[in-house]
């Protein structure tokens, strides 16, 4: 869950901090209130390409920082890619944009590439602007949400089932290959018998 968001020198905002409450958080306001800037800040945390035009005109750099709490097993498949804090901890991420056009990403205080940043934050934050809720219409996203709701015991069972299912597919493929080899041998034997006759 996104717990805190800090913005510094992004567009017209010299500095802002938002602390989010558990559950659904909605950001609304009149035109010109800064909602689009917040949306851009969140997009930067999701790995969006940066543009130096987003930096406040009187500043040399801009920063967007966020603090997330995360559920157990959220990053189990990424354990080799990045060193993360313990399951009861929080994760801090940051994007720094410079006037020279350079962008840097940090995960837990260490430099990271945008792909990894996007992978991590994409699991921790669901961000929807107008007409972007279509992601919830994707069957894979619905399944991910449902599986996550069921708890770690069911996730372990699902992983075990997936491993067995993958093994079954390998065995079926191997059997098919053996059957095709048998058919090819049979055709070759018939051809050789014909040639002998």
Domain spans of the chain, in order of start: 2-132, 150-197
Q: For residue 22, is it left (φ>0), alpha (ψ between -120 and 50) or beta?
A: beta
Q: For residue range 118-132, list pLDDT tens digits in order.
A: 888 887 876 665 655
Residue 91 and residue 120: Cα distance in Å, rounded?
10
Average pLDDT over residues 14-27: 85
43's enclosing H/E stretch is helix 35-45
- Lowest-confidence range among 9-13, 117-121, 130-134, 153-157? 130-134
Q: Average pLDDT of the chain? A: 81
Please give the CATH topology (third level) of the domain spanning 2-132: Rossmann fold (3.40.50)
Chain centre to alpha carbon of residue 43: 12
């Amino acid at each position: 869950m996104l717990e805190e968001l800090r913005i510094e020198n992004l567009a017209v905002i010299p500095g802002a901090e938002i602390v989010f409450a558990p559950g659904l958080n909605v950001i609304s306001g009149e035109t010109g209130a800064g909602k689009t800037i917040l949306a851009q800040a969140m997009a930067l945390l999701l790995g969006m390409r940066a543009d130096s035009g987003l930096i406040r005109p009187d500043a040399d750099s801009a920063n967007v920082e966020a603090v997330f709490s995360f559920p157990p097993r959220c990053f189990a498949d990424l354990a080799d890619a990045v060193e993360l804090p313990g399951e009861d901890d929080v994760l801090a991420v940051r994007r720094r944009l410079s006037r020279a056009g350079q962008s840097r990403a940090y995960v837990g205080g260490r430099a990271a590439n945008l792909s990894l940043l996007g992978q991590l934050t994409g699991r921790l934050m669901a961000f929807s602007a107008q007409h972007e809720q279509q992601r919830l219409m994707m069957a894979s996203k619905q399944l991910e949400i449902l599986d996550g709701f069921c708890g770690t015991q069911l996730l372990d069972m699902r992983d075990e089932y997936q491993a067995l299912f993958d093994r079954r597919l390998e065995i079926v493929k191997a059997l098919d290959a053996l059957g095709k080899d048998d058919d090819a041998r049979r055709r070759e034997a018939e051809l050789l018998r014909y040639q002998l006759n």
